[in-house]
Every structure is written in structure tokens, then in C-alpha cells.
Amino acid sequence: MTPPLHLSLAGQAVDVLREQVLTGKIPPGSRVNEVEVAQQLGISRGPLREAIRHLASERLLVLVPHRGAFVPDAGADDVRALFELRTALECAAAELAASRRTDVDLVRLREVCAESRRNYRAGQPFPYRLDLAFHQALLDAARSPHIAEQVRLVQQRVVLLRSGLEDDPSHQQASMEDHDELVRAVEDGDAARASAVMRRHLSRVCAQMLASLGR
Amino acid sequence: MTPPLHLSLAGQAVDVLREQVLTGKIPPGSRVNEVEVAQQLGISRGPLREAIRHLASERLLVLVPHRGAFVPDAGADDVRALFELRTALECAAAELAASRRTDVDLVRLREVCAESRRNYRAGQPFPYRLDLAFHQALLDAARSPHIAEQVRLVQQRVVLLRSGLEDDPSHQQASMEDHDELVRAVEDGDAARASAVMRRHLSRVCAQMLASLGR
DNA sequence: AACATGTCAACTGTCGACAGTTGGCAGTCT
DNA sequence: AGACTGCCAACTGTCGACAGTTGACATGTT
């Protein structure tokens, strides 16, 4: 099975490496040794290099000439700067969603909110998965593939920054209420309000992350 | 000089290829033959492949498994979708610039506007270069490296779409006036107005490109 | 004539090996 | 002791070659 069975070796390597980076299995600050990881994955250095460059293009790795690829470990400034970009993208998405959403989009959004609420009432910790699902549903409603793609990349970087941070239960309710209000604005087709709520929501999430980093 | 003299072979290949793609020397729709281009550049397929993947990550090429890399040729829908992303990013940049600009930023912005006006009065065609310079100056004033980076990538894709399109002189004055008004809003620190003017400006530019494509 | 099938050249995906660079370590000098 | 110099191992950058896939052309079939 030397040739691409279903996905090229490079493509498979991208998936495996991304997983390992995002879950913190390869901790921030550490280096990715080409020969070592290549043997580990059972592939040659060529495809692995392509995978590394790909993840570098997603900013999940940083390349240093003649030194190799490193998992970036970010400070507070990076978090702030990254959330500036995320806010720009997701506020635009919220506006578009408010003006383009269909009934199916609303059903989906309400569904995610309902699941979050069930989860909350059951005393379960608010899984980050549900937060991602909500934002994804909003992006679907916005129907802007390019914006959606960029948001996906940014969220991925946020996940990387979050690796090693535990969910803070105290902010679950606030996030849920933000989501609910966002859905109402989108329902009303109120683009300006949707944008404003999203901005406040992300500002809150950013502040929480900064607080978690500080500890 | 087998080793990286100042930049790796892959890096050099990226620059050369990007130039050739953006100037239309490699026309949209055409394929990039690895062995052919590699010989042409006097390098091996390895570094060239990395360059191709890099440009693909910038969306200047599209990869088709087992088929190779192609220069994308976009239709009207792509232009609209791309400008949605560009609007999201540059409106945010305009807001940030309005609240963060320093005096040096303003000097630079006025300078670019002045050169545009000199150019216009001299009856010269408005070079796209000056438009890029203006937007770059605004990004510098916004001081958001991540947003700036994304805008750079998007603008590059716009340049690719523009390849083969001539500058339309009839829109020079409108663009110049947009720029002037944008500078005034930034001077006043009026983020909302800066965002609104930017949105109108980009909407106009997008409409112009769609008109050019239609012909 | 239109369609299905077999064959083939061209190209991509992958691999292993070599060359050059980098950072660190031992040894030496001041 | 501290700083400097010269080596050395480890690793990245690059290359050439092989294997597998794809699309197209030629051939045969209905």
C-alpha cells in the first residue's frame, strides 16, 4: 500500500500531527524531529515534511530555518491579537447570518442551545465541543465559505492556546446566555445587534482565557 | 551553492512562482508541471513541491490529487465571496486604525492620498500599486498583525483575479474620494464611520471588478 | 457510428541517500 | 575562572530514482 489508499500519506500525517498538537500530546515549545516522527508514523521524511509545512501554514507549527518545526507557545499578547482577528471574522459572520439565515439554520441553532442548557442543568461541565458546535452552526447560517474557512483556522489556533487549560465552569452560564441572545438577534434579522452581541461574547471569552493563562 | 545562500531553494521558488502566477505569466486554468518547472528553475522536484504546496495554502494554486496544481480561474461568485471576507477584515482594520492611529500613521496616509491626487491631476492612470499602498498604510495604523497578514493574503487573491483586467480610469476619482474620507474618519478617531466608509469603498471596488469580469 | 475495453505514456506520490548547516562540547589560551 | 576556538554529532535541505495512478488514445465490439 505504498500509494494513496484513501488519502495521501502526507494527508494522513497532517491529521495525526494536528491531533497530537491540538491535544497537547506534542507540548507547546517542543520540536518536531523529522526522522523520529517519520519512523514513528511509518512513513518517509518527504510526506512528513509536507505535513509539517501544511500545519505551519495553519500556524499550528512555526518553522525555523535549519532548526526545524516547533509548537508555538503563546503569551497574553498573542491571545489578544488572535481574538482581534477572530472578532473581525465572527462579527461579520454574525451579521451575515442575521440577514441570510433560513428556518433550518434557526432550528439547528436552537438545537445546539437546547443541548447546552440540558447539559448545564444536569450539572455537567460545558464541553468546549458544544461551544464549537454553536459557532459552527452560526457560520453555516452565514453562508460565506471563505469567512467560515478562516474562522475554522483561527478557532483551531484558539484550541491550541487552550490546550492545557481546563474549562472554567463559572463562565458557562454567561456564554450560554450570549449564545441565546445571539440566536434571538439572528432570528430577528438584526445584523447590528448580532454583531454587537458576538463582539461582547468574544471579548468575554478572551478575558476568561487571559485570566486562565495568568494563573 | 547547493545550500541556502540567503533563502532556501523552496523559498526562492515560492517568490518566483508567486510572481509568475500573479502577473498571469502562468495563466488561470493552466497546470503547473512539476518536472518541467523544476528544470526551468534549475532545482529538484522536492523544493518545488514545497513551493507549490505553500502557494496552495495561500490559495494561489489549487491541488488536485494525482493531477497536480492548477491556477484557479474564478467566476463572479468567487469574487463576491472573496470580497465578503475582505470586507470583514478591512472594516475591522479601519475601526482599529481609527482608535489606534498615531501621528506618523496619519502622515503616511495623507502622503499616499497626496501622491494619488498628483497622479490623477497629471492625467496618469491610477496605478493599482497606490491603492495597495493606501490599504497597507491603513493596516499599519491598525496595528493588528494577524488581521494584516490575512488581508495581505486576501489582497493577493484579488490581484490574481484582477490579472488580465485593465484598470478602469472612470473609478479612480471615486476610489480617491473614498480614501480621503477614510483618512478623515481615522483622523477623527471615528471607528464606526471608518468602518462604514471602508465597507462602501470595497462594495464599489467589488462592483467594478464584477463589471470588468462581465465584459 | 457509438460505446466499451485494453494499453500506454506522462505525471504525481514516495522513498532512501548525500551535502551543508547549526548548536553544543571539549580543549586551550589569557 | 572566564572567554575563545576548533571539532563533532544531529538534523535539515536537497537530490535522483522507483512505484502507482490518471487520462487519453487506439482497438475491438454491438
Cβ contact A91–B87 (<8 Å)? no
Of B54, B88, B145, the CB nearest to A57: B54
- Using a pLDDT cut of 90, give the percent of chain B over it: 81
Is the pLDDT at B1 greater than 60, yes or no? no
Give the count of beta carbons closer than 10 Å to the beta carbon of residue A76.
Answer: 11
**Angstrom distance, B46 CA to D15 C1':** 8
> Among chain B residues 59 through 88, which have CB within 7 angstroms of nucleic chain C?
63, 65-69
Residue B6's pLDDT band (cuts 50, 70, 90): low
> In the beta sheet, which residues pair with residue B68?
B64
Strand order across the A68-70 sheet: A31-32, A68-70, A62-64
pLDDT at residue A121, as a whole number: 85
Give the count of beta carbons closer than 10 Å to the beta carbon of residue B162.
Answer: 17
pLDDT at residue A215, as a whole number: 66
Q: Which amino acid is at B6?
A: H
C-alpha cell at A113: 442551545
**Angstrom distance, B34 CA to D27 C1':** 32
C-alpha cell at A196: 454587537
Of B58, B82, B147, the CB nearest to A146: B82
For chain A, state the CA radius of gyration: 19
* Mean pLDDT value of segment B74-101: 96
Of A46, A49, A146, the CB nearest to B84: A146
The more confidently predicted of residues B134 and A74 is B134
Handedness of CA A191, A196, A201, A207 (dihedral sign): positive
* Mean pLDDT value of segment B174-197: 96
The 3-state secondary structure of B81-119 reads HHHHHHHHHHHHHHHHHHHHCCHHHHHHHHHHHHHHHHH
Distance CA A15, CA B166 (A): 42
Residues of B in contact with A4 (CB under 8 A): 65-66
> Among chain B residues 29 through 58, which have CB within 7 angstroms of nucleic chain C?
31-36, 45-46, 49
pLDDT at residue A128, as a whole number: 83
Which run of H or of E encompasses B145?
Answer: helix B145-162
For residue A182, count CB atoms less than 10 angstroms from its CB and return exposed for 0-12, middle for 13-18, buried for 19 or more: buried
Q: Which amino acid is at A27?
A: P
pLDDT at residue A171, as a whole number: 81
Give the count of beta carbons closer than 10 Å to the beta carbon of residue B70.
Answer: 17
Query: Is the CB atom of residue A189 positioned under 7 angstroms from any atom of strand D?
Result: no
Nearest to B168 by CA among B215, B207, B212: B212
Residue B171's pLDDT band (cuts 50, 70, 90): confident
8 A C-beta contact, residue A89 and residue A157: no
Residues of B in contact with A88 (CB under 8 A): 88-89, 91-93, 147
pLDDT at residue A4, as a whole number: 42
The more confidently predicted of residues A212 and B82 is B82
Is the pLDDT at B2 greater than 60, yes or no? no
pLDDT at residue B123, as a whole number: 77
Per CA to C1' distance, which residue is closest to D18?
A2
Of A8, A85, A93, the CB nearest to B147: A85
CA angle A54, A55, A61 (to 5 degrees): 135
Q: Which domains does chain B have, with CATH numbers?
A: 9-70 (1.10.10.10), 76-214 (1.20.120.530)
What stretches of chain A show up as alpha helix (H) in DSSP?
9-22, 34-41, 45-57, 76-100, 103-121, 128-142, 145-162, 172-188, 191-214
Average pLDDT over all residues of chain B: 92
**Angstrom distance, B133 CA to D18 C1':** 49
* Mean pLDDT value of segment B136-163: 96
Nearest to B163 by CA among B60, B82, B77, B63: B60
* Mean pLDDT value of segment B118-144: 90
Q: Coil, strand, or helix at residue A95?
A: helix
Is the pLDDT at B69 greater than 50, yes or no? yes
Distance CA A78, CA B121 (A): 44
Q: Which nucleotide is nearest to A33 (CA to C1')?
A: D11
8 A C-beta contact, residue B179 and residue B137: no
8 A C-beta contact, residue B71 and residue B27: yes
Is the pLDDT at B4 greater than 50, yes or no? no
Is the pLDDT at B25 greater than 90, yes or no? yes
Per the rule left: phi > 0, alpha: psi between -120 and 50, beta: everything else, A182 is: alpha
Nucleotides of C under 7 A from a protein CB: 11-17, 19-23
Strand order across the B68-70 sheet: B31-32, B68-70, B62-64
Is the pLDDT at B177 greater than 50, yes or no? yes
Cβ contact B50–A49 (<8 Å)? yes
Q: First CA to last CA across chain A, in angstroms?
A: 49
Across the A:B interface, residue pairs with CB atoms under 8 Å apart total 66
> In the beta sheet, which residues pair with residue A32?
A69
Q: Which nucleotide is nearest to B35 (CA to C1')?
A: C11
Query: Is the CB atom of residue B92 positioned under 7 angstroms from any atom of strand D?
Result: no
pLDDT along chain A (215 residues), means of 10: 62 97 95 97 97 98 96 92 98 98 97 92 81 96 97 96 78 90 98 98 94 81
- Residues whose CB is less than 8 angstroms from the CB of residue B176 and which lie 6 or more positions away in sequence, other chains included: B113, B116, B117, B120, B126
**Angstrom distance, A67 CA to C27 C1':** 27
pLDDT at residue A131, as a whole number: 92
Query: Is the CB atom of residue A56 positioned under 7 angstroms from any atom of strand D?
Result: no
8 A C-beta contact, residue A172 and residue A123: no
Q: Which amino acid is at B95?
A: E
